[in-house]
Structure 1
Amino acid sequence: MKTIAVISQKGGAGKTTIALNLGVAVVRSGHQCAVIDIDPQASAKCWHDLRQDDFPAVVSAQAARLPEILQTAKQNGAELVIIDTAPHSESAALAAARLADLVLVPCRPSLLDLKAITTTIDLAALAKTPALAVLNTVPVRGGLKGEAEQVLRSYGVEMAPVTLGHRIAFVHSLTSGQGVLEYEPNGKAAEEITELFRAICACRHWNDLIEKRG
């Protein structure tokens, strides 16, 4: 079993959106996935309550119970667990990072978000867990993507080869208890999530993330 912690110390970076959509992508690829929601707002659990499907499983928990819940997920056959963390909670984020195989760091392409990402990068380094930055809600037009990538390179953090656009499908799908792969399977948002999932599976840190089936 592999574990991803989605961490950003700044609110509004898109942690829950990425965690849930990746969870749907894992399930649709034919694998078992669980999402552990350690954010007190429990947005991921609220999304799951709206769903017509039980999978991916979503569990709301406190950070202190992460080792126990990860063990339970493994015993129940989960192949990938995604931890959705809360902003402004370094202790909980650090606990998640230490238990993860990979830290995903969502970041909007704005000056404040780019500056704030350094705290999360430092947390991953302290946990000795590889980190992968994901540019999120990138405007379809304009030069913000290139500028943001340049700033991230200066921080020395590895970047995902895929960016997620500022697309309304991400909003509408979550409010209906779906992922974009279910809400608009042929849309650009679904294409981006699929590419992100494939990029993570091929990540040099864990080429054996999920073995291909069939």
Structure 2
Amino acid sequence: MAARIITVAQQKGGAGKTTLAAQLAVAWARRGNRVAVVDIDPQRSLANWHAFRMEQHPDGAPLHLSDVAGWRLGTELDRLRGRFDMVVVDTPPHAETEARAAVRAGDILLIPIQPSPMDLWATRPTVEMADKENTAALIVMNRMPPRGKLPEVMLEKLLEEGLPIAHTKLGNRVAFAASMMEGKGVVEYQPSSTAAREISALATEVLATLKGRDRRR
């Protein structure tokens, strides 16, 4: 079976794309899937994290890295499809040609959004890009505080616009960043933590969404 391509994109920078991509990749790898991560962001944050992971935890859940220029993405994905179960693509911010190509190639697009007006305003163009490329999109509410009115207001506005929102929400938890600092995913770093439960639930939800689309085809 060909690999599932999961693209992580958001027009606004700093929304947590790389952390989301790495955390999901580890969660799927820990379940026994063959997982590759592809970093086409010039900042190379995912590639640098992967290099640190390999140095510190060579026996951890295996993740293959493809660190390629965006214009080579199509060729690289063709090479990876038959070798892996899941391929997670981390993209540059803004609606650049490389990000658009990654969205087009994806089976699903994950869009992290933080509780801020800027994130909210940046999300609609990213969803529109997915619509134009005929790629299913799923908004992931990220770094949500335990209390406060802003997340509720944002959720209401997203729902009013009919945008696709994941049921699983990720809290503003230190464990996500701390695990990345160790070259790990949170399911390895603190497997019994709330953060680990959240990312595991999201990993399950993404797979269920993909299977649901398969049944409707």
Q: TM-score, normalised by structure 1?
A: 0.92
Deviation per residue, 1:50-93 (Å, 9 max, x gap): 11137211221111111111122123x20010110011242111
AA matched with 1:42:
R
Tell me the distance in 2 between the aligned counterparts of 1:155 and 1:39: 29
In the other structure, the counterpart of 1:8 is 10
Q: CA RMSD in A?
A: 1.5
AA matched with 2:8:
V
Q: Does 1:71 align with 2:73?
A: no
Report matched runs for 1:88-167 at 5 Å: 88-167=94-173
Tell me the distance in 2 between the aligned counterparts of 1:69 and 1:9: 23
In the other structure, the counterpart of 2:64 is 57
Aligned residue-pair number: 207
Q: Which runs of 5+ in 2 are unaligned?
A: none
In the other structure, the counterpart of 1:25 is 27
Note closer, same or farther for the CA distance 1:208–1:25 as it changes in structure 2 (3 Å cut): farther
Asked if the contact 1:138/1:144 (under 8 Å) is kept, the reply is no
Tell me the distance in 1 between the aligned counterparts of 2:32 and 2:213: 16
AA matched with 1:65:
R
Identity between Structure 1 and Structure 2 (%): 39
Tell me the distance in 2 between the aligned counterparts of 1:144 and 1:134: 16
Asked if the contact 1:118/1:155 (under 8 Å) is kept, the reply is no
Asked if the contact 1:102/1:131 (under 8 Å) is kept, the reply is yes
Q: 1:81 aligns with which of 72, 84, 87?
A: 87
In the other structure, the counterpart of 2:211 is 206
Q: TM-score, normalised by structure 2?
A: 0.91
Q: Which runs of 5+ in 1 are unaligned?
A: 210-214
Tell me the distance in 1 between the aligned counterparts of 2:46 and 2:89: 10
In the other structure, the counterpart of 2:45 is 43
Tell me the distance in 2 between the aligned counterparts of 1:207 and 1:60: 31
Q: Does 1:175 align with 2:177?
A: no
